[in-house]
Copies of this chain bind each other. A is one copy, B any other.
Amino acid sequence: MTRRTTAGPERPRRRGRPKGRAVLADRSQLLAAAERAIASVGTDVTMDQIAAEAAVTKPILYRTIGDRDAVIDAMSDVLVDRIVEEIAAFRSTGTAPRDAFRAAVSAYLSAVGAHRDLYLFVNAAGQRMGPLRRRIDRSSRTIIDVFEAAAGGLGTTTSPLTWSHSIIGALQIVTLMWIESDDIETDRPRRTVEDLADDFTHLLWPGVEAILAAARVDPTAGPDEPSDD
């Protein structure tokens, strides 16, 4: 077992720099491996496990991606990308604003449901203020964009940050409890995406609509301003 001259093929890799010229794993490969590791191990994947899944050792992971927060950030970005993609795919032109809202919520839920492990990982592990803040900021911008597109401009009448945060938070907890209700055995069956989207829309849409109406009546800011401040 300690003899290296007769080492069998089970020795994972020779020490030192390997023969091939190519870099062993680039960022995207590592992230894909991280996702696989998350899917197979679960929320509390270890850095070693991620590295092992990528057939690479820890220092490589640390050099290429960074520490655990960096991994969380990266997976968070991956997840948000997928969700945005899903929402964009579901967006049908010409529908009424309320339907667009509801469709977006529904698409969000579907996307999260399709990437359950990723979502749980990002949410469970990512509450270290740093990653969380970055994720919320990014989601905020996305949400604001979506609703500008769905409703044709918002302006800055009321602070968009507060209610984008509200919407994100509401969606987050609703989604979390929904997804988790699949994990642990609850008394009642898991609700459908459509039911949840309906409930959510019932609660949130009237306020959104009122704010949009107010913005339309009093357009103190141009509808095309990205409302950066």
Contacts and interface: CB of A to CB of B under 8 A. Distances in A.
Contacts of A128: 124
A15 interface: no
A210 interface: yes
Interface stretch (A22-30, A49-57, A160-168): A160-168
A43 B200 CA distance: 32
A171 interface: yes
A128 B6 CA distance: 46
Contacts of A133: 177, 180
Given A180-B133, A188-B229, A203 B166 contact: yes
A202 interface: yes
B163 A168 contact: no
A39 B80 CA distance: 34
Contact of A169 (B132, B172, B202): B172
Contacts of A191: 159, 162
A67 B158 CA distance: 44
A174 interface: yes
Contact of A173 (B120, B168, B177): B168
Given A168-B173, A174-B166, A203 B199 contact: no
B177 A136 contact: yes
Contact of A207 (B172, B195, B205): B205
Contacts of A173: 136, 165-166, 168-169, 172
A127 interface: yes
A132 B162 CA distance: 23
17 contacts: A133-B180, A136-B177, A158-B203, A159-B199, A162-B200, A163-B200, A163-B203, A165-B174, A166-B174, A169-B171, A202-B207, A202-B210, A202-B211, A203-B207, A203-B208, A203-B211, A206-B207
* 8 nearest A-B pairs in the assembled complex, by CB-CB distance: A169-B173, A206-B206, A166-B170, A169-B169, A127-B127, A162-B199, A203-B207, A170-B170
